[in-house]
Amino acid sequence: MNKVRGSRSQRGVALLVVLWVLAILMVTVLSFSFLTRTQTQATVFFRDSAERKLIAEAGIQRAVMELFYRRQNADNTVILPGTEGWKVDGTVYRGMVGPGSYAVSIIGETGKIDINRAKDVLFKKLLLNFGLSDELSDTIVDSVMDWRGASGLERLHGAGNDYYQSLPVPYKVKNAPFDTVEEILLVKGVTLDILYGDGNRKGIIDCLTVNAGGETINLNYAPREVLMAIPGMSASTADSIIQYRADQTIKNAQEVLSGDYQIMMPFINVNEGNIFTIESVGYTGDEKNGYPVRATVILDSDNAYRYLYYKSPAYKVLQRNG
| Domain identity same for 99 and 227 | yes
pLDDT at 198: 82
Domain boundary residue among 164, 180, 201?
A: 201
Domain boundary residue among 179, 201, 223?
A: 201
pLDDT at 103: 94
216 vs 113: CA distance, rounded Å: 8
109: left (phi over 0), alpha (psi -120 to 50) or beta: alpha
- The amino acid present at 163, given as its one-letter code, is Y
pLDDT at 280: 95
DSSP H or E stretch at residue 311: strand 305-311
79 vs 84: CA distance, rounded Å: 6
- The amino acid present at 6, given as its one-letter code, is G
In a domain, 230, yes or no: yes
Instruction: Using CB atoms within 10 Å of the CB of residue 36, give its burial: 0 to 12 exposed, 13 to 18 middle, 19+ buried.
Output: exposed
| Domain identity same for 138 and 188 | yes
pLDDT at 202: 87
In a domain, 17, yes or no: no
Count of C-beta atoms within a 10 Å radius of residue 224: 17
| Domain identity same for 56 and 152 | no
Strands 113-114 and 208-209: parallel
271 vs 258: CA distance, rounded Å: 20
pLDDT at 318: 42
| Domain identity same for 235 and 196 | no
| Domain identity same for 305 and 191 | no
List, as one string, the DSSP characters of 248-267.
S--SSGGGT--SSTTTTGGG
pLDDT at 296: 96
DSSP H or E stretch at residue 236: helix 235-245
146 vs 154: CA distance, rounded Å: 6
- The amino acid present at 201, given as its one-letter code, is R
Three-state secondary structure call for residue 214: coil
- The amino acid present at 42, given as its one-letter code, is A
pTM: 0.79
Number of domains composing the chain: 2
Domain boundary residue among 150, 171, 201?
A: 201
| Domain identity same for 139 and 251 | no
C-alpha distance from residue 173 to each of 137, 169, 208 (Å): 19, 13, 20
- The amino acid present at 29, given as its one-letter code, is V
| Domain identity same for 240 and 292 | yes
What's 59-112 look like in SS3? HHHHHHHHHHHHHHCCCCCCCCCCCCCCCCEEEEEEEEECCEEEEEEEEEHHHC
Strand partners, 208: 113
What is the full per-residue pLDDT of the chain (322 aa) written as tens digits? 555 555 666 666 777 777 787 778 777 777 766 666 666 555 554 467 889 999 999 999 999 999 999 888 876 655 556 667 899 988 999 999 888 999 999 999 999 999 999 899 999 999 999 999 999 999 999 999 999 988 777 899 999 999 999 999 999 999 999 999 999 999 999 999 999 988 788 899 999 999 998 899 999 999 999 999 999 999 999 999 999 988 888 988 888 887 778 899 999 999 989 999 999 999 987 667 889 999 999 998 777 999 999 998 887 544 444 4
pLDDT at 319: 41
DSSP H or E stretch at residue 43: helix 2-72
In a domain, 34, yes or no: no
> By the 8 A CB rule, do 276 and 107 touch?
yes
In a domain, 124, yes or no: no
| Domain identity same for 68 and 143 | no
Domain extent for 99: 52-119+203-322
